[in-house]
């Protein structure tokens, strides 16, 4: 009898365990994340929303290049210094491009038409000659090479009486050893405007005009710009790039 009672207790315990496990298994669990809803796009919407492939077509890029500004008036240093350099000249541009082919007919005049070259740019008698010496006769009229504004008229050591014109293309031209000036600082001039009368003031041994071309105060070889034999502009594009040493590198493209 005692054995049957023990067996009965064991059976009842097993049944209770099965019931409790079944109950725990039926308890719902809470989801840890929310499923992402799936949307379907009807074919009718796609039909009225075609892809504009022209939008993705590669097009050439136009770069902004600030226009050069030429003032009507100049400070005291600009009026007295031939090789004046502006620290802001290349501040808003990486290079200066002078397209000689784009200069219209009549927008350039040889500074002394019919003149012969007495001395070229380069080393001369152990010194650097920064321009071209031109001569016809005595007391000839010197003309502005391009349109621009007269920056300087006055006396400057070896130059004697000198005129400096700042042009809208970024270049400056220098006309030295004059016997008389016909313009003054601030005057607007056109290509071919009379600037001065040739002479032999300053470091000169004969009546002539010393002609220079400068970029931000630095003289360059005028034969890079002008064909002195034919007295015409060269058909090329010049690129002036400042270097780390403060000089100007010139490339012809």
What fold does the segment set 104-230 form as a domain?
A: Glucose Permease (Domain IIA) (2.70.70)
**pLDDT at res. 92:** 80
Domain ranges of the chain: 104-230
Non-local CB neighbours of 97 within 8 Å, separated by 6+ positions: 65, 237, 238, 239, 240
Strands, DSSP E only, in the chain?
96-99, 116-119, 122-124, 127-129, 132-135, 141-143, 148-156, 160-167, 172-178, 180-181, 188-189, 194-197, 209-215, 218-220, 226-227, 232-233, 237-242, 248-252
At 236, the pLDDT band (50, 70, 90 cuts) reads very high
**Cα separation of the two ends of the chain:** 120
Residues above pLDDT 90, as percent of the chain = 62
Which residues 6+ apart lie within 8 Å of 201 measured at CB? 155, 160, 161, 177, 178, 179
Residue for token digits 């002036």? 240
pLDDT tens-digit series, residues 81-94: 999 999 889 988 88
What is this structure's pTM? 0.74
Segment 160-181, tens digit of pLDDT: 999 999 999 999 999 999 999 9
Given this model, what pLDDT does residue 63 score? 53
The answer on pLDDT for 6 being more than 80 is: no
Is residue 222 within 8 A of residue 111, CB to CB? The reply is no
Give the model's pLDDT for residue 106: 93
**pLDDT tens-digit profile of 127-160?**
889 999 999 999 999 999 999 999 999 999 999 9
């Amino acid at each position: 009898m005692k054995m049957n009672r023990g067996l009965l207790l064991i059976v009842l315990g097993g049944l209770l365990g099965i019931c409790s496990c079944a109950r725990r298994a039926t308890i719902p669990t809470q989801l840890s994340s929310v499923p992402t809803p799936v949307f379907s796009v009807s074919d009718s919407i796609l039909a009225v929303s075609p892809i504009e492939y022209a939008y993705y077509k590669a097009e050439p890029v136009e770069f902004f290049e600030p226009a050069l500004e030429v003032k009507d008036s100049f400070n005291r240093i600009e009026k007295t210094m031939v090789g004046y350099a502006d620290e802001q000249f290349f501040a808003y541009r990486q290079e200066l491009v002078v397209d000689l082919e784009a200069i219209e007919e009549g927008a350039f005049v040889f500074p002394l038409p019919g003149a012969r070259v007495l001395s070229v740019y380069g080393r001369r008698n152990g010194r650097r000659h920064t321009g071209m010496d031109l001569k016809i006769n005595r007391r000839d009229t010197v003309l502005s090479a391009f349109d621009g504004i007269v920056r300087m008229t006055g006396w400057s050591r070896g130059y004697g009486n000198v005129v400096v014109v700042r042009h809208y293309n970024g270049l400056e031209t220098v006309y030295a050893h004059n016997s008389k000036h016909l313009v003054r600082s601030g005057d607007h001039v056109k290509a071919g405007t009379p600037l001065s009368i040739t002479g032999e003031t300053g470091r000169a041994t004969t009546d002539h005009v010393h002609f220079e071309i400068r970029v931000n105060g630095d003289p360059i070889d005028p034969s890079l710009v002008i064909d002195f034999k034919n007295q015409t502009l060269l058909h090329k594009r010049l690129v002036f790039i400042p270097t780390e040493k403060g000089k100007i590198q010139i490339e012809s493209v």
